[in-house]
């Protein structure tokens, strides 16, 4: 047997298209950088707290469970979940909002939006092939990252409107990921908030949904004054929301089966076949409002996020004033791409600690 024949069978890829997508995302640089990007608590606050990476993994786990139970394509849901936050800036939503404000203040009306930035990461900014940019992912994966459960009209998507059917909802797998994201961040933000001492179960047990979870946990014989209670409470909240979602979702029609082509089939006016019950959806909305007031607007969080916002402002100002401050690769891109977009792409790819380090180098002080 000739050497080139010995391993010939490995030239045939034994993975399905969405498994290939998943593996390409897992091995890309942008995915690894999520380890050092803020979810709610700044990355350097402690090793316990969630980051964008651990959040994406938790969303993926929940999305896989939901998809499997609803007989959808589990692997497609997994890769959408793993990819959905690749475009986030350092310092969470505050960093993205500040970058968006700075771009628009400079007259760049398209600004910055993290969903579209995730799409750009997958289709343009990651470079793994000589012939083209991007990771060469399937349409279904890209659509699921670009769009969520609602029609998605943004000015920077004009050239994509026809191809991605922006007047329609995405695949059911994308909708599952959207809800898995909500389940994950609600539960793990409570976990981190309790751990960090920013909220208490006294705050939460005034809430209808939390009282339902508390009843489940106490039936196990675990009570609020025990260390184990936090872990059982978070697990119970996830269990309650996952079970409600599965019981309330209706995906029996043939066009929703995973064997069917996965396309943006639903008109924007159609009732979604997946989601929480009305009672739980309403209770979850009330709980999120409570968390916004008690946790996300807590003084300690707001101060850290304000510092992150000043870092974003300082970096943008410096790079905009003097492009020689940019690394060699980004300076080369200025020949083919607008300056403001090169700067935004570079800043969005930064981790929290790299952004802070660069700010310190440029301004000679730390935040």
6 in a domain, yes or no?
no
How many domains does one find in the chain?
A: 2
The reply to whether 212 and 349 lie within a common domain is: no
195 in a domain, yes or no?
yes
| Rounded CA separation 133/345 (Å) | 15
CATH number of the domain that residue 172 is part of: 1.10.3210.10
The reply to whether 356 and 221 lie within a common domain is: no
134 in a domain, yes or no?
yes
The reply to whether 79 and 202 lie within a common domain is: yes
Cα 54–Cα 58–Cα 62 angle in degrees, nearest 5: 170
What pLDDT sits at residue 48? Answer: 62
312 in a domain, yes or no?
no
- C-alpha dihedral sign at 21, 27, 29, 32: positive
The reply to whether 294 and 325 lie within a common domain is: no
Closest among 319, 307, 322 to 349, alpha carbons compared: 319
153 in a domain, yes or no?
yes
What pLDDT sits at residue 272? Answer: 78
The reply to whether 233 and 334 lie within a common domain is: no
Q: What range does the domain containing 216 cover?
A: 17-301
What pLDDT sits at residue 119? Answer: 93
User: Quick one: tokens of 315?
Assistant: 């970096």
The reply to whether 94 and 169 lie within a common domain is: yes
Where does a domain end: 301, 327, 355? 301
What pLDDT sits at residue 264? Answer: 47
pLDDT means per 10 residues, the chain with 367 residues, are 46 83 96 87 62 94 96 96 95 94 93 92 93 93 84 68 75 94 96 91 93 96 94 97 94 45 50 89 96 91 92 97 96 96 97 94 77
What pLDDT sits at residue 259? Answer: 39
- In terms of Cβ atoms closer than 10 Å to its own Cβ (0-12, 13-18, 19+), residue 98 is buried
């Amino acid at each position: 047997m000739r050497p080139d024949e010995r391993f010939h069978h490995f030239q045939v890829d034994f993975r399905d298209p969405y498994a290939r997508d998943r593996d390409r995302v897992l091995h890309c640089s942008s995915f690894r950088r999520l380890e050092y990007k803020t979810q709610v608590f700044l990355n350097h606050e402690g090793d316990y707290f969630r980051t964008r990476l651990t959040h994406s993994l938790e969303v993926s786990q929940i999305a896989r469970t939901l998809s499997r139970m609803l007989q959808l394509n589990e692997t497609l849901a997994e890769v959408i979940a793993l990819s959905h936050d690749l475009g986030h800036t350092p310092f969470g939503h505050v960093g993205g909002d500040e970058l968006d404000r700075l771009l628009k203040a400079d007259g760049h009306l398209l600004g910055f939006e993290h969903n579209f930035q995730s799409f750009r990461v997958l289709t343009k900014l990651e470079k793994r092939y000589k012939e083209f940019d991007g990771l060469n992912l399937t349409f279904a994966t890209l659509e699921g990252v670009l769009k969520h459960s609602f029609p998605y009209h943004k000015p920077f998507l004009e050239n994509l409107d026809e191809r991605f059917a922006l007047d329609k909802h995405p695949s059911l797998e994308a909708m599952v990921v959207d809800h898995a994201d909500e389940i994950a961040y609600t539960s793990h933000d409570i976990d981190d908030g309790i751990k960090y001492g920013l909220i208490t179960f006294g705050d939460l047990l005034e809430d209808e949904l939390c009282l339902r979870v508390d009843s489940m946990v106490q039936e196990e014989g675990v009570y609020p004054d025990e260390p184990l209670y936090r872990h059982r409470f978070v697990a119970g909240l996830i269990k309650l929301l996952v079970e409600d979602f599965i019981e309330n979702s209706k995906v029996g029609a043939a066009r929703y089966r995973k064997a069917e082509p996965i396309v943006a089939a639903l008109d924007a006016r159609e009732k979604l076949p997946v989601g929480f019950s009305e009672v739980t959806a309403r209770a979850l909305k009330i709980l999120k409002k409570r968390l916004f007031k008690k946790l996300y607007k807590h003084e300690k969080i707001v101060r850290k996020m304000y510092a992150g916002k000043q870092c974003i402002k300082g970096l943008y100002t410096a790079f905009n004033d003097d492009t020689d401050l940019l690394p060699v690769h980004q300076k080369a891109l200025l020949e083919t791409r607008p300056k403001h977009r090169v700067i935004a792409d570079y800043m969005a790819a930064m981790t929290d600690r790299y952004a802070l380090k660069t700010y310190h180098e440029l301004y000679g002080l730390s935040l």
